[in-house]
Amino acid sequence: MRKLLRLLGLAKGNCLNCEKPTVGEEFLCEDCLKELKPQHPMEYTHIPYVFSYRVFGRYEGAIKSLILNAKFENNPYTARFLGKVVKDYLWQYINEIQPDIITFPELNIRRFWLRGFNQVEEILKGAEVPYQRIFERKGFDPPMVKLKSQERLKAVQSHQVRRQWLYALEDKKILVVDDVLTTGQTISHLCQMLLSLGAKETHALFIARSV
Ligand SMILES: [Zn+2]
């Protein structure tokens, strides 16, 4: 019950992950903060149309608590906080691949309306990473987790490139940032779309991979 209250943001002053008391306005206790480090080694399997990608950590523990809180308790501050945590890791990769454009997948309209913000956008703000919104979504598909794979594919395909970007991607190196890597289907489809519009290279970065 206490955990539920915490996740609902009703009880303050305790760690979002383990409920131990926190210092000041922190979302996590000192132990859970220490847990937030890039995890190595991690196994990388090929994702079609993605030239290279990186994953900060596993979708468990403190990272999972922060992402769930941002997503389902409509708390953009936990997403910003997560952005600060991954900032160095993100910038290291950005410096390595030198992308021309950094972007992220869009939420469907209904979800964006319910949440009021895009958690990946807030993570990028927290990490002080400049980004462009090159995708847009059509339609009102339900949350991904509840979809069967065929429906999931349909939801993925509702992504489009915004009109003003259609002719602006040629020869560009593009980095797509997303929060959780599960099947890789979404990112693969997005990168395929970018390459078909003339992008030179597509790379991806995820905050966490589902375990
Ligand atoms: Zn904790």
Return the H-helix or E-strand segment holding 135: strand 135-137
Q: Decide: residue 144, CB within 10 A, 0-12 exposed, 13-18 middle, 19+ buried.
A: middle
Count of structural domains, the chain: 2
Question: Is residue 187 pLDDT above 80, yes or no?
Answer: yes
CA distance 83 to 27: 13
Cα-to-centroid distance, 67 and ligand 1 (Å): 15
Q: Is residue 29 domain-shared with residue 96, that is, in the same domain?
A: no
Peptide bond between residue 21 and the one before it cis (omega within 30 degrees of 0): no
Q: Are residues 25 and 100 in the same domain?
A: no
83-113 pLDDT, tens digit per residue, is: 999 999 999 999 999 999 999 999 887 788 8
Counting runs of H as helices and runs of E as strands, what totals does the chain give? 8, 6
Report CA(56)–ligand 1 centroid distance (Å): 19
Per-residue model confidence as pLDDT tens digits over 18-57: 988 887 778 899 899 888 889 877 888 999 999 999 999 9
Closest CA to 31 of 17, 47, 52: 17
Do 52 and 10 reside in the same domain of the chain? no
pLDDT digits (tens, 9 = 90+) for 145-185: 566 666 665 655 688 999 999 999 999 999 999 999 999 99
Cα 90 to middle of ligand 1, angstroms: 24
138 and 201 assigned to the same domain: yes
Ligand 1 centroid from CA 179, angstroms = 21
CA of 30 to the centre of ligand 1 (A): 7
Ligand 1 center to 15 CA (angstroms): 5
Q: Which domain range does residue 200 map to?
A: 40-210
